[in-house]
């Protein structure tokens, strides 16, 4: 018996901000903040257990980050509920990308992954 995808679904939205006051381009330090919004579009409450990020810079260097929760929390998101947090990342290049997943556990004990779609980190004016 397969699980109904409607029972277990977290939608992930992202916003990215370049942080010029913490960046030092001449020293190859580019700092970005990102705001993540998780919306539980499934039928059951789900707790965010852990995160897995894949961060790639313009040189093709890949860094993976794994850890429990996000910003020190393991939030429980009710059906139709939302959770939002802000964090950051530093690159050695003015452009890069992030993608990954959150490991979630539904109230019935079922664990599933919520995909974080790839998003771009870019110093303003670099891509356009």
Q: List the domain boundaries for the chain.
A: 10-118
| CATH of segment(s) 10-118 | 2.60.40.1470
How far apart are the C-alpha atoms of 14 and 18, rounded to whole Å?
13
CA 22 – CA 91 distance, rounded (Å): 12
Give ∠ CA 113-78-97 in degrees, rounded to 5: 40
Q: What is the pLDDT of residue 13?
A: 97
pLDDT in tens, the chain (128 residues): 455 558 899 999 999 999 999 999 999 999 999 999 999 999 999 999 999 999 999 999 999 999 999 999 999 999 999 999 999 999 999 999 999 999 999 999 999 999 999 999 999 987 76
Structure confidence at residue 127 (pLDDT): 76
CB 105 within 8 A of CB 5: no
Q: Give the end-to-end CA distance of the chain in Å, rounded to a whole number.
A: 49
């Amino acid at each position: 018996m397969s699980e109904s995808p409607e029972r277990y679904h977290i939608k992930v939205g992202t916003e990215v901000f370049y942080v010029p006051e913490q960046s030092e381009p001449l020293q190859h330090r580019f700092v970005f903040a990102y705001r993540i919004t998780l919306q539980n579009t499934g039928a059951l409450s789900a707790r965010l257990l852990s995160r897995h990020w894949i961060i790639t810079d313009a040189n093709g260097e890949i860094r993976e980050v794994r850890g429990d929760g996000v910003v020190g929390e393991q939030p429980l998101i009710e059906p139709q509920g939302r959770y939002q947090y802000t964090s950051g990342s530093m690159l050695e290049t003015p452009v890069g990308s992030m993608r990954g997943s959150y490991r979630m556990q539904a109230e019935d004990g079922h664990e599933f992954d919520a995909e974080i779609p790839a998003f771009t980190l870019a110093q303003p004016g670099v891509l356009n």
